[in-house]
Structure 1
Amino acid sequence: MLVLLAREARTEEFERVVRAAREAGADEADLARLERAKDLSLSIRALFARRQQREAGLSALVDTARDLTLPYNLDTLLKVITRRARLLLGLDMSWVTFHSFEAGRSIVRAADGHTSAITVGFAVPMGRGVGQQARQRSAPFWTADYLRDDSFAHSELIDDVVRAEGLHALMAVPLRHEDTELGNLYIAGRGIRYFDPDELSLMSSLADLAAVAIEKTRLLDQVRNEVVGLELNTSRAMSSSAAARQLRQVHGELIDMVLAGGGLHTLVEEAAGLLDGDLLVRDQAGRDLVSPARFPELDESEIGSVSLDAHTERRPVRTREGVWVAPVVAGREMLGTLLLAPAEGSDAESDTSYTVQLLALVAQTTALVLLMQRSAAAAEGQVRDELFDELLKGKAPAARLAERAHRIGMDPHTSHVVLVARPEGGSLARAVVLASSYAVQRSGFKSVEGDSIILMLPGTDAAVVARAASSALSSALDHPVTVGTAGPVTDLSSVGAAYQEARCCLDALTALGGAGGTASSRDLGFLGLLLSRSPDTLEFIHRTIGPVLDYDAQQRTELTSTLEAYFASAGSPTRAAETLHVHPNTVSRRLERISELLGPDWLEPARALEVQLAVQMQRTRRVLRGAAAIKRAAPASEAGTRR
């Protein structure tokens, strides 16, 4: 049986082995064992087949997600969705309908695999059929044999279509984007078929991706309409001008280049040649997205002021040094800034009218590219968000987490830092968008819980990563952002614990009145020691009074014991001198030396508390080491006595 299983033999060959044993006269016990071995072998083969089918489905879903991020118009996108849906489950037919709530009908917008009945424009009643069941349940609904299934209300019109197409198995999956019902995705086969949970999950994921892609395409259509409107207005205003004709031609070429798949770098290279200068693109936080090899030094204070004017007036503005600053906006949202440094003697220095119009068109096209990148990142980021949610819960097996991490191209052993950020004002929705963009740029993860944003970013120093994130988000939001942090972690199963620690650090920072700041357990001193998931008392001692301990070890002095006596005497050098049996001047000189080692602020209340706690911990460690040494010596002493 194992040999047949390894050869992936057909079922008949397994049966042949049992039949041969029966014909050879094997007893009933042997036949029973052989039958069980056959059944187990066939079960194992079926299990592997299901796993291969699941892996193939997930691989096909990833390919589909990539396809859906490409720039299509809506009709082409819907054709891609229906074709992918049909091939994903190997069925005969699929179609997409959009709801028309005013008319009470769903209109077929695309179909694949149909013969005659279901075509584009066909109206389906919304109140009946599997589509209505899927819409009510907000989940996939299916039937193995539609015409013979009486578990839902039928419609004669739909029944006639199903009968004309010769369909039996039918599944409807709702297309929803956030709180908006777009329509349904239907998959059907011309044979009776029962769908398993893996197939339902696969189609739900496809529907979610399709809904995001549809919204992205609608947004692109809206941008195209805005661009067309801008082009028409420009054409009316400058119809008799050769410059206007050139602007239209350049604008069309740039749009075509973007829609053909050209990215931001390609657009900037082409636009820099047209504008005869160096072009720099910055995001809304002022970070360089695309920068030339050589760009003039900028007065950032003037650039910031001119950028504000450009975004307020919605037009390019020139600095005193001759650098053009153009806003990159979509609606009311600021996406970034374009900076143009014209070459000496170029038209951009003399023909300001042409430069302003061309630069505005380049900025508009740049906004289109950034919106497309954001929509694509949203579709691809859904899988990453689901993985991050499981990491935060900390309940999934480590092997499963590692497998999912590898699937999205993440090294599960890379050091990551966990941040919990809370904006202190402004719109949380805008903060989430900016934080998501920040995480994507750094190959990190993002989640939201209540009024806080959870980030996991690559890094080895939690404090450095937290300060950088707080600064970037605060600058983009114009509001302070408070950040608690923990890490680094190299084990995915430890992310949940790191998140809890970071959450505690954020709460502690808030309680201490540190809104707008950042803190890790190390930054919080002894409070951090209490909050840490793995307290390191030795590291706390050396960080707090390490210079004093090192000085005592090197110079054979008594500064540590002086600290103990000083704190025990309520900060009185005189009483400390009596305890140590030395002159008060000796204690004063030792305290001066301690101030040189620890800094003049070591007697400030908060710092003094940490120093006193570190001294007590060091004393406790010394006592425990002595007790352990006595225990180890005791058995040896007893053995000598017996001898």
Structure 2
Amino acid sequence: MVDEADIHRPDLLTVLRLLAEEAPLESYEELLLRAGQECSAVERLRLEQAVRLAYVIHASQDRRRQREDGLAELVDTARDMTQPHDLGELLHVITRRVKRIVNADLACIGLREDDGSLSLHAPEGATTAVVPGMRLDGGPGHQAIAMGAPLWTADYLRDTGLEHCPHADEFVRAEGIKSLLAVPLIHGDSALGVLFCATRSVRRLTPEEIGLVCSLAALGAVAIERAERLQDARSEVSELELDGFRARTTLARLEQLGDAQSRMMSLLLSGADLDTVAQAAADALDSTLQLRDPAGRVMTATADMPDLDDAAVARTSWDAHARRTSVVHGEGTWVTPVVAGAENLGFVVLRPTTALVGEDQQVLRLVTQTFALQLLLQRGTAVTQAPVHDALFNALLALPSRDGQQARHLEQRLSDIGLDLTGPHVLLAVRPEGGGYGRAIVWASSYADAHAGLKTVQDGCVMLLLPGTDASAIARSVGAELAAVLGHPVTVGAAGPGRDPGDVARLHAEALRCLEALTTLDAAGSTAALGDLGFMGLLLSETHDVSGFIDTTIGPVLDYDRKNATGLTETLEAYFATGASPSKAAETLHVHPNTVSRRLERISALLGSGWQQPDRVLDVQLALRTHRMRSVLRLGAPDAARS
């Protein structure tokens, strides 16, 4: 049996025993202390040599254990990387493992972007706010990629042999990093990024530690490439699944479209009314629907829309007709034109409960076509290239003034569609000055329908035949409303009133002459009737309505003289004959100057305060001379001029 004293005897055998037991280094130090007390100098020297050899063996065993532990960690890492991770999880697996393998304080991965910069991901052990995706445009990571080999330093900020950049240095200072290792993640011939690990104290890494990190980086590069491909594959699969879902949805919707088309055509062929067809269309589109005529009046509706602005909806409908397609009005409301050839039959206002997709818009187009067919069937007309109202208007323009039989025939046709030209009517020639001609035509159709009139188009102008007696006022109203719709001025020449279908051709010629006169006078964008042009209007008129010119210009003064036996007309003549001098006119009339002043005040009250303006004073003088000449020719005596 071995004695306890033999076990702790300071000799070479004890050194071997401690080495075999992998005893801690403190045991060797204790053995050397006893040797100093119990052994001779020669024995003590030999024992010290043995202990130094034991230290070497002990260090070798430590390195071997570290390599074994590192290899085991590497195997575990490889096994972990084979698990199905997305790219973000995989990057965290790599950084956690490398931090543990080399006992680092911080680890992260910089992935290479298309512009060559490195974006940081999966930080482990960071003490500052490292935002994923933070970019580094230079530094040791780029240097390692350029070298294609690991790069390490014991003290980064003091190492002048490294490539420094402000972003990287700022990050290193914020984290308190000293030792840094950067290993490129290389897969094939391309570098995917850089694996970083660092400590906050000055440290020299061993070749074994650098080799382990390089091995881990090689495994990581393969895993990252695989994860990126899997991620791309998943994205493609998701996109394919989404495309499949869309295809199935589209197919189902197309089947519904076919059913809706069959149902509405069956209703149409069975003679169903507008209300029934409108309800079927609203059900097919899961919407509230209104059908309105060209004037904006509701013909049928599945429900009220009290929040709709009728004027705004009408403006949107003009845009829809000009573009011949559906137009979004406000939020969640659609306006779609109902047309047959070139004829405006109205429009549909639709408010769906959900957003309209492509197939729903096809249903909406089908609905408008169905309404167009039904309206044509109800009206008993066929679809033609020229609208019915335009054709009638053109026939009126071509009507010979003495053809009573053709005039009666046209009157009957107009009566059949609810129009009467035996009452007073005016004709307008409308010319847009800034584009939007198509929209102006659509608006004119709606306006004519709403006001029981007619519309046609000739040589870039829109012609309107409307009931009324005041051509000037109607021209101003039409010009202001259409200019607001188009967003730019329009020029309107007006003529009338006429009281017979045979007057239409004459009014048409006068309205065009008025329009040309406005252009010649550099008054494009304004409105006027012949009466507004004064003496020029008299010259342009085919009828040369002298009496109308006199009555329009100085009629109130003549009427006042007849009723009150005054001399306002004579005072006006004297006033102009003396160069517009009240005092000289008083001498000519043999009255006091105050009398002339009072008469001029009365004239201003009758003719308006602007009668002495240059654009009116000439008409007043011409009217006075014409009135005097007519009196002389009729009665043969100048004394009868006041009559």
Q: Bin the TM-score by the shorter chain.
A: 0.3 to 0.5
TM-score by length of 1: 0.47
